[in-house]
Structure 1
């Protein structure tokens, strides 16, 4: 009896395997597509990570260059302002004059004056970027005091 049941089970297993062979191509194709798409997804994720790192590096470089440009303009302005004050004192004895950097907002409706050392206060403002921008400067003016 036991042998008979085992034979029946084997026949049933062969019949099931024969039926499954009809659909073997479907599973194989789906598996191949899944593996292929998974590999493509991993490649794209790695590429996205590379691009994100590259973007971050470029933005950091742009911020460093913007800061250097801002500092160079500030240093040049301070030197010119100092020399201007010295020459003005020689030309107008007892008189005092300083150069001021004009600052305005994006629309240009307001402007502020910034003397020789006043630019450092801009760094602490709550602007969107932590890097100061030279775009805020709109011109140069003269502040004169009589003797």
Structure 2
């Protein structure tokens, strides 16, 4: 169910307030657009494909200059394998790229200093893994409605 105009305005206001208060946290939460990430992967794969082609042609040049056959085979096969792997990498990147009109997913950034999943910050600075949480009661929609009610009552 999409957000109403009022809810969208409130969400935008909260996002602006977060960005003003802590820009570093806001940029980390914003993440990277999936389309941008897949496009970057495709460009890197294309560049590696060119490197593989250079390796393969280098092996062919070695053969014409009278170098050893084993060197030709090794360099050419290595170049072909690099080309093959990079072509697969580009194809999977393009396959997973969202369409131009489609709303892309946002993937959170991973950087240094982030705690692993399941770890909470301790006052001493060391991470302590969390134990198993008890199973929540009620259906998913009941829990969501309860959270929404609590947020509205608290003034958000």
Task: Please give the range of the TM-score, normalised by the shorter of the 2 chains.
Answer: 0.3 to 0.5
* Length-normalised TM-score, structure 1: 0.33
Q: Which has the higher strand share?
A: 1
* Length-normalised TM-score, structure 2: 0.31
